[in-house]
Structure 1
């Protein structure tokens, strides 16, 4: 099994690649798509199987590489389960498309939505739990976890009573914060000495 540092560095590389792909996915869309009012999923469905779907899959793989490291750095089982839920949510969201913007939601779109909700909530909760085991990174993880939950609340407000006002902006800020949280976890794991017996 690769060492903690190797896995953490692989995860960091995957996170960086996923971020680059997500940016590229926003540059290669038609001009009718507005990043302020449409979600990332709306962009992904316009380019089914394209770079945004690939970015989600790469981010899921980067997290999957990191999960086996957690017990070796002293993290508990709940954090592992939450990171696995984040990973599964990303995989489902990448594989199951949402509906086209403006179209009524079908079963696949609901599955995509709730897989995304699981992912968006699981990662900040995992980050909060992991903060106990990450030394100097703990304040960053707590701040990023709370910020993620605040952006998730903003997105929920926008989706329901807010008539989707700036939902795209809220989601992109949420994603940026969560990717940052995951990068802090990976970087912190790369610098950690393994716990004895793990």
Structure 2
């Protein structure tokens, strides 16, 4: 499937940045002593701060490249979509710059910024994909987006529930059974995988939209010949 040069560059940038983010976060899990089932990614700031920041920043850069790929592919991008995708990337970058607050060097201010940056980021990506459904109505690319949007939205809900009960458990409420059934570390990682899949789905949408546009532009010349 031939694609335009501009889209090819943006797609390559997105895939390289996202791939680097996944690679560094995998290395972090391999070498770290933390529990990936119960410990959130933010808690790795106490043991592997460099790898954590590198992976999150790489995903942020890759997400901006995804936005560029969508524009280069001719996907109709409402202003709301652009803003939400930018908020996703900005939220990730802010969360990397302001780490969560953990002993032995707690920083409550940084921890609050980190928390709300994550909330903004995690909510913005599925919302951005949702705002593309109407502009893509009647197009084949919409089916690709719907499939990955459902996965991303479901993962976000599951993580949100597990995170809420984890906070209630920390507050001393009798919800430990729920936190064991839905360990926050595991659900967060599932959500991250779903978010990456959604980003790659958006790249796929850009490629298909570009191919459709190219075919449409070539069709009149073919008819004349």
TM-score, length-scaled by structure 2: 0.76
Report what 1:144 is aligned to: 151
Specify the alignment match of 2:218 in structure 1: none
Superposed CA offset, 1:136-192 (max 9, x none): 313313312322332332233333334483111111111111111111111221332
1:57 maps to which residue?
57
Say whether 1:172 aligns with 2:170.
Answer: no
Q: Residue 45 of structure 1 aligns with which residue?
A: 46
Measure the CA separation in 1 of the matches of 2:142 and 2:10: 19
- Counterpart CA distance in 1 for 2:124 and 2:103 is 26
Give 3-state SS (helix, strand or coil) of 1:161's partner. Answer: helix
Aligned residue pairs total: 193
1:135 aligned to which of 142, 153, 170: 142
- Decide which of 22, 27, 34 is 1:24's aligned counterpart: 27
Q: Report the RMSD for the aligned CA atoms in angstroms.
A: 2.5
Q: Which of these two proteins has the greater Rg computed from alpha carbons?
A: 2
Residue 54 of structure 1 aligns to a residue whose secondary structure is helix
- Rounded Cα–Cα distance in structure 2 between residues aligned with 1:157 and 1:139: 27
TM-score by length of 1: 0.85
Alignment partners' CA distance in 1, 2:28 and 2:40: 13
Q: Secondary structure at the match of 2:168?
A: coil
Unmatched tracts of structure 2, length 5 or more: 171-175, 215-225
Q: Is the 8 A contact 2:42 2:100 kept in 1?
A: yes
**Structure 2 partner of 1:181:** 198
- Are 2:155 and 2:187, in contact at CA under 8 Å, matched by a contact in 1? no
Shift of 1:105: 6.0
Determine the C-alpha separation between the residues in 2 that align with 1:168 and 1:145. Answer: 17
Please identify, of 97-106 and 113-122, the stretch whose mean Cα deviation from structure 2 is larger. 97-106
Provide closer, same or farther for how the CA distance between residues 108 and 152 of structure 1 changes in structure 2, counting only shifts above 3 A.
Answer: same
Once residues 8 and 77 of structure 1 are traced to their aligned partners in structure 2, the CA distance between those partners, rounded to angstroms, is: 21
Secondary structure at the aligned position of 1:192 is classed as: helix
